[in-house]
Amino acid sequence: MAEPCIFCDIVGGKYGTKFLYEDEACVAFADVKPMAPTHILVVPREHHPRLQAAAEEEKLLGRLMSVAAKVVKDRDFRVVVNDGADAGQTVYHLHVHVLSGRHFGWPPG
């Protein structure tokens, strides 16, 4: 049996999460612990544990970026993928963070 996965559950509608965007490949919803005034997660419907494991999925990865740009419309924003423990990944279902509504420093922490 597959490992339990919180994002698979959310994508499957288990908690009635409000989707800000959805299509046949991915959904977008607000992060439960926002790090900026706007903090949206773009999540593929299919379970891939991390970016490194989905490197061949060019079409899907392109879609995630495209949706990231669409959900924030014309505002300045930052896109983040935490890939692996040292990069800060905590949920092992591929996702793109889309952050906006404040200034972001560089380099990142």
- The residues annotated with a catalytic role in the active site are 95
The yes or no reply on residue 47 touching Zn ion (CB under 5 A) is yes
Residue type, 36: A
State the Cα–Cα distance between residues 51 and 73, nearest whole angstrom.
Answer: 24
Contact present, 11 and 2 (Cβ < 8 Å): no
State the Cα–Cα distance between residues 42 and 55, nearest whole angstrom.
Answer: 17
Among 12, 13, 23, 32, binds ligand 5GP (CB under 6 A): 32
Among 60, 63, 65, 89, binds ligand 5GP (CB under 6 A): 89
- Residues lying near Zn ion in the complex (CB under 5 A) are found at 5, 7-8, 47, 93
- Residues lying near ligand 5GP in the complex (CB under 6 A) are found at 6, 29-33, 41, 82, 88-91
